[in-house]
Structure 1
Amino acid sequence: MLPPLTISVVDGKRLSVTRKLVLLVMFCLAQFLDAFNITALVTAIPALEVSMNMTASQSTWMFSASQLTFSSFLLISGRISDVYNPKTAFIGGVFGLGITSLCAGFVDDKIPIIILRALSGIASAMSIPSALKLLVNVFTDPREQAWAIGLFGGCGAVASFGGLLIGAMLIEWTSFHWVFWFVACMALPVALACVFIIPSQVISEPGPAKWKSLDLVGVSILTAAVILFIFSVISGPTSGWASPLVLVPLIISAVMVVGFVYWETLMPAEKAAIPPRTWFYNNFSVLFTIALLPIFWWSTVLLIFPAWWQKVFHWSVISSAIHMMPLATIGFATSFTGSLSRIFSPKWIILTGLSLCMVGTILLAIGGGRPENYWPCVFPGFALGTAGIMLAYTHTNIAIFQAAPSSMAGTIGAIFNGALSFGSAIGLAAVTSIETSVEATHGGSQEYAGRAAAFWFLFGIVALESISISIFYDRSTDHQPQPQYLSSLSETPLNRANTTLVK
């Protein structure tokens, strides 16, 4: 028989409004920095290639290295946040991001900087699920929680496109080193402040019980499978989809996923990394498929337009970044719609968002090839597409947390962010292949046909997502309390009796 377990957790009802808002700012800053750490490099890549003598394929690993490790370590981070202290995981992740960025700013060689980018991905993977775990605990009222989650996601949208402008200014007026130092100058003070601002959470339980709750075998199998899968998808467009470098990891990854599913069926639900019943929570599976779309849409826009404008229209780096700003401003404004989920069904809000996104994607497909089409086609395409995809993102994020118990918030945050990354990786690989194939038969990279084909493919994906949410989303549990399920060791009746607040 296990000795009694004592847990001290954040009780949002006992925190002052001021402290809640300060905590939300800290979580949002972490989200901003994680997204900025990726998008700001879009404008720095040309300078990095020249300074470090990188080839085009090597420079892609500046993004891919962090994406690979971020996606791969999300699950273990989520489980650590649920079983151990999410405060420690959050502060460690933000601090790690600051240190790796600080070091990257002093590096002028391609191998060390790619390694540091991979380490920064692990740090980001530690901070995001733990931030969501803490956010759900701090904002326990459903209306407040929806608003907070929406704003949290909105800061990621602002960073995704604001990073372009800030990165462009840093490159133009200083050097690429300051892109990394900018992250460090913000992340390290945030980590230090959070040591004192975030309420303490003391978890005291036997060491073996903790390790068993983490399901290290299952987590390790899935992490290895994700690493191999993302690696093969990233390598596909450059190495060829039929090459052994792509096929072998892909096949091994598929086998390992099957092994992971089998292992999880053997594990007790309270000890499984992802309990099988998770996928049967109301609407969880369909919301997971919707989560594959948002970063894919944003990444496609980022991949296509800045490079197209600079290469073909000969716009400056800063001019290109300014023309992308509608996505940041509209994305952030739309993030304040979280409270709508307590008035209307998330189904109709998500469908409205996907419909707007389809219209915006059509405008980008038909009008992106000429500079004079920016205002009549591209600008409204950005506005409608961003508003739509942000509605879908925000309310999918809110609904997926409402579908599962709060005790699983770290794991759910990992699953949600994993879906965002998987969708982006798979989608961008498909978009790159389509664009390259069409360009080969329609005049090369100076013609817009390949990019238009990529947007038509993206339109088809959004349409499929709309159909899936229309058919499979069940409205019967809208606005109901979160389900209560003893999904982890930390939620036994004994544990609930020993739960106290430490301020």
Structure 2
Amino acid sequence: MADSQTPAVPSRCPSPAPTLIDETKEGPTVHEYSPARRYTLLVIFCLAQFLDTFNVTSLYSAIPAMAMSMGIAEGESTWIISAYQLTFASFLLISGRISDVYNPKFAFIGGVFVLAIFSLCSGFVSSKIPLFVLRALTGVAAAMAIPSAVTLLVGIFPEPTEQSRALGVFGGCGAVGIVLGLVIGAIFVQYASWPWVFWFVAIVCVPIVGLSVFLIAKQEPKEVRGGGAKWKSLDLFGVTTLTVALILFIFAVTSAATTGWGSSRVIASLIISMLMTAGFFYYETRIPADQAAIPPRTWFLPNFSVLFGTALFPFFWLPIGVSSFPVSLTGPLSHKINPKWLLLFGEALCIVSTILLAFADRPTRYWPYMFPGFILGSAGAMFVYTHTNIAIFRTTPASMAGTVGAIVNGALQLGSAVGISIVGSIESSIEERHAGYAGRAASFWFLLGIGALEFIAMLVFYRIRKENAK
């Protein structure tokens, strides 16, 4: 049902109706792109998003062969994946600030170029320590590419309906990367060798870099309020503090899956991380707002806080796959139906799906319970992801597009890291006492509780009137 309070979609001619971005001199430079050029760039940005998730799932099939050839112990093999995820999530914020303060074109091209170099080198290493280091550096390079791609995307697609569709497709390519990563990685391991998983990433990066140099318009220099040095706007102290806090937090929840939540290094990392995070937010209130990595006013933008909490959910809800890609095309619905109801619909799908999966405890229940559960859950998680992105950029100034893109992607990564660790711990602890499907069912009941909390929070705290008054 359409929300009568939702503003009408503005035409291309000047109109007082609100748009998704605030095209002020502080926002991304708006250039005239032909339709062919715009959609070619969308494909390029989608490939970068695809490589983000591909860099994780493609290695699941390759880990046994890599462990055997390099002598990697079972407990150490998790760092082939975790090293990338840890640095990717941790360096998103500084990447977003660089995109907003400096040049998003250079940030994007540089990030993809360095990603190609590190991926190429990863295929030639023969020992575990260089591999772990390269995987961590690959995560930093990928973190440079994603927020800058978001910044460029909202500038290339200033018209609201097209922007919604572009953001949805951009996010959907992450789901495609999750599934195709598993398939392509398995094909390389089976018919070639594990280094080709890395070399494939390097090969895909080449056309992305080459086309971006010529197709992305020159970005105008951004002025700093008061005429100060740009580097001061990066908030290096604050960003470094939060980055270290995130590294420690993700390290803790990743390690908990193997060493347990009661181990000293997990507890110490969590405590230090929480203290540093609290220190970061206190520090941000003590410096000028235009020099803060996350200006305090960000959390008071209409619905920003509840949307940030919602952004933790899609990758926390684990079953998500290529079947969810068509849902990413529903972005234009946000101009006919208020995002609140779309997000509630997506969360409701996840709740129903989780209940079905909790009862899929025997082979005969695959088709009536598990299959529809995965389909509904994947669709619901992608629905939440797509319309959270659209809603959060609708309420955010365009001059903060890179930073907000980093915050959203950071929330997704945190949700994924925490979700996998907690769900794995619940499943393992239950299976120690009860055989069969009890552990898996318990993990789904836990996810049901998280989904219900998200649903209630969205229902209560998302304010339609505030958003539409913007």
1:332 offset after TM fit, Å?
A: 1.0
Q: Does residue 25 of structure 2 align to residue 32 of structure 1?
A: no
* Corresponding residue to 1:226 among 218, 236, 246: 246
Matches within 5 A, 1:124-143: 124-143=142-161
**Counterpart secondary structure, 2:175:** helix
Distance 2:160 2:356 in 1: 36
Counterpart in the other structure of 1:418? 410
Instruction: Confirm or deny: 8 A CA contact 1:7 1:202 kept in the other structure.
Output: no
1:473 and 2:462 aligned: yes
Hey, what's the Cα distance between the residues in 2 that align with 1:191 and 1:74?
A: 20
Match runs of 1:167-182 below 5 Å:
167-182=185-200
Q: Does 2:427 align with 1:407?
A: no
Counterpart residue type for residue 78 of structure 2: T
Deviation string 1:354-408 (CA, Å, 9 cap, x unpaired) is 11111112222221x4444433322211111111111111000110111110110
The answer to whether the 8 A contact 2:234-2:291 is kept is: yes
> Given the alignment, which residue of 290, 296, 302 partners 2:316?
296
Matched residue, 1:332: 325
Residue type of the partner of 1:374? Y
Match of 1:386 among 378, 382, 387: 378
Aligned to 1:251: 271
Distance 1:69 1:28 in 2: 21
Matched, 1:396 2:388: yes
Give the structure 1 partner of residue 231 of structure 2: 211
**1 CA distance for matches of 2:146 and 2:187?**
27
Q: Check conservation: 1:8, 1:200, Cα contact below 8 A.
A: no
Of residues 87, 108, 123 in structure 1, which corresponds to 2:141?
A: 123
Paired position in structure 1 for 2:38: 20
1:357 partnered with 2:350: yes
Q: Contact between 1:80 and 1:89, CA under 8 Å: does it hold in 2?
A: yes
* Alignment partner of 2:219 out of 173, 195, 201: 201
Partner of 1:495: none
Kindly state the Cα deviation for residue 448 of structure 1 after the two structures are TM-superposed.
Answer: 2.5
Listed as ranges, the gaps of 5+ residues in structure 1 are: 1-5, 303-326, 484-503
Is residue 350–residue 395 contact of structure 1 (8 Å, CA) maintained in 2? Answer: yes
Question: What's the secondary structure of 2:76's corresponding residue?
Answer: helix
State the secondary structure of the residue aligned to 2:126: coil
Question: 1:421 deviation in Å?
Answer: 0.9
Which residue matches 1:454? 443
Q: Residue by residue, what CA displacement relative to the aligned partner does 1:178-209 show, whole Å, maximum 9, x if unpaired?
A: 11111111012211221111111142668952
The aligned residue for residue 11 of structure 1 is: 30
Equivalent pairs counted in the alignment come to 444
Evaluate the alpha carbon distance shift between residue 283 and residue 52 of structure 1 in structure 2; reply closer, same or farther with a 3 A threshold.
Answer: same
Deviation at 1:55, TM superposition (A): 2.1
Match of 1:428 among 417, 420, 428: 420
AA matched with 1:11: V
- Describe the superposition over 1:130-172 as per-residue Cα deviations: whole angstroms up to 9, x where unpaired: 0000001111111111110000001111111121111122222
Separation (CA, whole Å) in 1 of partners of 2:356 and 2:79: 31
Please state if 1:269 is matched with 2:289: yes
Change (3 A) 1:184 1:373: farther
Give me the TM-score of the superposition, normalised by structure 2. Answer: 0.91
| Structure in which a larger fraction of residues adopt helix | 1
Residues 351, 249 of structure 1: alpha-carbon distance in 2 compared, 3 angstrom cutoff = same
1:183 corresponds, among 201, 207, 219, to 201
TM-score (norm 1): 0.85
**In structure 2, C-alpha distance between the alignment counterparts of 1:406 and 1:348, rounded to whole Å:** 24
The residue matched to 1:461 in structure 2 has which SS? helix
Asked if the contact 1:28–1:151 (Cα under 8 Å) also holds between the matched residues in 2, the reply is yes
Contact 1:8 1:202 in 2 (8 A): no
Compared CA separation, residues 204 and 258, structure 1 to 2 (3 A): closer
Please tell me whether the aligned partners of residues 91 and 143 of structure 2 are also in contact (alpha carbons under 8 angstroms).
Answer: yes
The counterpart of 2:167, out of the listed 131, 140, 149, is 149
Query: Which residue does 1:192 correspond to in 2?
Result: 210
Instruction: Describe the superposition over 1:9-36 as per-residue Cα deviations: whole angstroms up to 9, x where unpaired.
Output: 5314x21111111111111010011111
Secondary structure class of the residue paired with 1:355: helix
Q: Is the 8 A contact 2:102 2:222 kept in 1?
A: no
Q: Partners of 1:160 and 1:429 in 2: how far apart?
A: 18
Cα gap change, 1:8/1:219 in structure 2, threshold over 3 Å: closer, same or farther? closer
- Closer/same/farther in 2, CA of residues 345 and 76 from structure 1, 3 Å limit: same
Measured against aligned partners, the alpha-carbon deviations of 1:214-273 in whole angstroms (never above 9, x if no partner) come to 111111111111111111111122223222211222111111112111111111111111
Contact 2:27 2:399 in 1 (8 A): no
CA distance in 2, matches of 1:7, 1:420: 27
What are structure 2's unaligned runs of at least 5 residues? Answer: 1-24
1:58 is paired with a residue of what secondary structure? coil
| Residue matched to 2:130 | 112
Residue in 1 that maps onto 2:17:
none
Q: Is the 8 A contact 2:26 2:399 kept in 1?
A: no
Offset of residue 479 of structure 1: 5.5
CA drift of 1:121 comes to: 0.6
8 Å Cα contact 1:236/1:246 also seen in 2: yes
Q: Is 2:434 aligned against 1:442?
A: yes
Residue 374 of structure 1 corresponds to 366
Q: Report the secondary structure of 1:56's partner residue.
A: coil
Opposite residue 370 of structure 2, the aligned amino acid is V
Task: State the Cα RMSD in Å.
Answer: 1.8
